[in-house]
Each structure stands twice: as structure tokens, then as C-alpha cells.
Amino acid sequence: MGEEEESVGKFLKWATKLGITDAPLDTLDSEIQTVSSCLGKSLFVSEFPDAGGRGLGATRDLRKHELILRVPKSALMTSESLMLKDQKLSLSIKRYPHLSSTQILSVCLLAEMSKAKGSWWYPYLKQLPRQYETLSTFSHFEIQALQVDDATWAAERAVSKAEMEWNEAIPLMRELELRPQLLTFKSWLWSSATVSSRTLHIPWDSAGCFCPVGDLFNYAAPGMESYSSEEIASWTQTSTLDSSSLEKSASDEELEVEHIDGDSLRLTDAGYEEQVEAYCFYARRRYRKGEQVLLGYGTYTNLELLEHYGFLLNANPNEKVFIQMEQNINFNSWPKDSIYIQHDGKPSFALLSALCLWVTPPKDRKSVGHLAYSGKQLSAENEVSIMKWLRKKCEALLEKLPSSIETDGLLLTSIEKMQNHTSIQEVKKMISACEVEIGNFFESTNSQTFDEVGKFHLSSKARRSIERWKLAVQWRLRTKLHVALPIDPLVGR
């Protein structure tokens, strides 16, 4: 058995003792806590290289909406549960009321790490990732590689926010006498990225909770676009399933409703349930045995996924490219974040509505306003003018960026070759194609080495940087492809 596998095995055994289980609801507690792993009845841990790496697969065919995992409240790691077990931590935190709940949870996590094997949570802490690719961890070079202003600003904001929060938390961490290496900005970035990418929503702490085993689910975007507003409205009326509906039979499957997060109107397939005092996870669709079981953490654009979770999706149904409008076009003063091109290349409702009026002669605007605001087609000419405006806007957006779609495609291939230790000749060829950016990478990571047979090698710093550089190039390429060809907004109306 490999070291990794052994560590996961120990972790699952520990989790079993805490009452975490993927067994059906009618399984006796005594039965649950005597098995050697909390998984095996519905789920198993495995590597899924194409979607998130380590994740959870289905051990058998799973029905849609079936309860597949329960994590009792006592197994959730929260600021509250950590403070209950550590009086010094609890007393010190009370002296820093200005810290936010996420800062407090980040400090609590570092304090627990400081205890190493002495921590009650050690088996859980041991299997947490050691590094993250969230935007706050991006260097200046990696931020510049995003190219688009909105994205570079978001990344710069993420870095300075992390720095500010770290500075504010240092006095508390000193008071707690954390080990020196846990006081560094690097450790803070690790801790805050762990909070950002792994916590699940709970009603009693806005920082969320760490949910052992439950945080092994990888992400798939909730496909909200395929549901009608009537369906969504009807789902909101059942904000939490009652405990009697937790046990589900195949025959009542069609009657079941999707699990809803009442606060945000967002479809969720997991949530804390007061009635059973546990975090409960449901299969969002049917899964075949062996398939990876995914969770919808929420609806995010790729930039938001990158910011909070450190990855992005190739096809993201919630993707948006924001368009800056001249003040005089946006008649109804739509909020900036409602003016964008959707994942399918169509303009958002607000963008379309504003453009419908903009291309209408001023004297006719009043009479057709109600049509524009209800999303109706005004005329064929109006439609053609909108598309012309939109294409021009998108072309201008693309031209402004320092590299083309073709170059980015080439660069991505080059980055992959660099990760795979390509020969010196290959690297030279690549450098001539994307010379400046590759040169900047070498400079920023201070590395360009070749072994005795002329194979290319990267330092460990460069290896970490290349992952984030690749994410930045993937993000900008997806964005460029997205705006390259806006689709006629009125097709299908």
C-alpha cells in the first residue's frame, strides 16, 4: 500500500469513529461505527485526473436525490468547535473582535496545525492539500498573464486583501505563540485558501465549516439554465427537506424536489440539516457505478472559480464576459454586472435591452421601450444593428489584448511541453513562438536549467508557478474564444 493510500485509509477509519457514513439512514449506529471505513456503501475515494484530482466515486449505481453521505455536527470543524476544545484560543480570540469570521477560522486552522500530532484533528489536517492556486497566491508575472483588466484587478485585489487580513491577524497569532513558520504570509495564504476552497456553508458561522470526507467532492457547475423559472420558484417553497423525506425509494423519485439553499435561490445538493444534526449530501443526478460524484458548490464564473477555488472549467454554463458600455447607451442604468456576454455567446438580457434602444432612432425610443424591456424583437434592422455593434465591441476587446487566440493556443502547448521536460531544441523552438512571455517566466522564477542530456528542468518554485501561469493562459484563452463570435441574440426567441 502506498503512503498516500495508507494515510487516506487511516483518515477514513478515524472519520468512521466520528459517525461519518455513506450508509443508508436505516443502518444502526453500532453497525456504522464498527466498520473499518466510513465509505464503501455509496462512495469511494479515488483520483480523477480530468476533474479535480482526488475526489469521490460511486461504488454502485446511485439514484438521483439519493442521500449518499452524512457528516454529524460533532465531526464538523468550525471556529466554535475548535475554541470549545482550546481555552487559550477561545480567550485570545475574544480580545480581537474586529477580525472577520474567515480570519478567525484561518487563525484557528493554523493554531491546530501548530499542534501537529497533538491535534485531535490530526488525521484530517494531514490529508489537506499543501498548496493552492487561488488568485491570492498569484505572483506579479502570473497576474499579468491574465491580460484582461477585470481579471488582473481581481487578482491584485485578492493579493492585497490577503496581505491586509494577514497583517491584522498577526498580533493574535503571536499571542497564541504559533510556530514561526506558521506566522509567515505563505502560511497565511495556505490557511486562507484552505478556508476559501474547502469550507461548506453553515447557518451559524459565515466562515462555514470544514467537513471531513464531505470536502472531498469535486465540483460541477449547477446547470440552472436548463430549469424554468416556474420550477425554480416551486423549489424555493421547499427550502429544506424534512427528515422523513431523507429515506427515498425508487418509486417516489419523480415526486422529489431539488434541494435548495433558501438564502441564495441557488440549487444545492448538500446542506446542514437541523433535524438530523448532520451535513447531508445527495446525488444531484443518477450516477453509474465508478463515475465521479460531483457537487455544485454554487454558480461561479471562471474568474470566481479561480479566485475562490484555484481552478476553472472548460465549459462553464455560468461564464460571463463583462462589457463596458458607454454611459449614453445604458439608458436604464443597468448595473454593471448585468451587462455581459453569456457562456453561449449571447448578450445578457440587460445588454440586449440597452442595445435594442440604443440602435433605435431617438424619436421612436419611447414607443418601443416596453418591447425592449420585455425582451421582444423590435425589427430585423434593429437586430442587425445590434449584432454589428456587438461584433465591433468584441473585436476591439480582442485587439486590445497583447496576444492572439492562436498565440495563446501555442503557448499552452509550450507550457505543457515544459512541464513534461522537453528537450532543449524543442524549448528553443517554443521560445521563438512566444518569446517575450516565456522569457518573462524564466526571469520571474529565476530558472532555466538543462540536465546532461539536454532535457529541460524546472526548479520547484518554477513548477508551482507554471501551474498558475497555465491557469492564467487557459482563462484568457477561454475568455477570448468566448467573445470571438457573439451569437445572434434573437435566434430562438
Ligand X SMILES: C[S@@+](CC[C@H](N)C(=O)[O-])C[C@H]1O[C@@H](n2cnc3c(N)ncnc32)[C@H](O)[C@@H]1O
177 HSE (CA, 13 A, CB side): 2
Give the span between the Cα atoms of 484 and 189, in whole angstroms: 35
Whether the CA torsion 213, 53, 309, 120 is positive or negative: it is positive
Least distance in Å: CB of 445 to ligand X? 21
Query: In 120-265, where does DSSP find H-type helix?
Result: 122-126, 140-144, 149-175, 185-198, 229-236
Question: Nearer Cβ to ligand X, position 47 or 274?
Answer: 47
Question: Nearer Cβ to ligand X, position 283 or 394?
Answer: 283
3-state secondary structure of 88: helix
Least distance in Å: CB of 54 to ligand X? 3
Overall size of the chain counted in residues: 493
Torsion of CA 267, 268, 272, 273, to 10 degrees: 60
Least distance in Å: CB of 47 to ligand X? 9
Question: Nearer Cβ to ligand X, position 79 or 218?
Answer: 218
Question: Nearer Cβ to ligand X, position 186 or 493?
Answer: 186
Could you tell me which of 31, 12, 10 has the C-alpha nearest to residue 213?
12
Cβ atoms of residues 81 and 44 within 8 Å: no
Which phi and psi angles does 54 have, rounded to 5°? -60, 135
Least distance in Å: CB of 279 to ligand X? 13
Which positions lie near ligand X, rule CB under 6 A? 51-55, 129, 197-198, 215-216, 218-219, 309-311
Question: Nearer Cβ to ligand X, position 281 or 309?
Answer: 309
Give the span between the Cα atoms of 10 and 349, in whole angstroms: 52
Question: Nearer Cβ to ligand X, position 215 or 319?
Answer: 215
Q: Where are the beta strands (DSSP E) in 41-171?
A: 43-48, 53-58, 67-72
Give the span between the Cα atoms of 301 and 31, in whole angstroms: 43
Least distance in Å: CB of 160 to ligand X? 21
Question: Nearer Cβ to ligand X, position 99 or 220?
Answer: 220
Least distance in Å: CB of 198 to ligand X? 5
Least distance in Å: CB of 51 to ligand X? 4
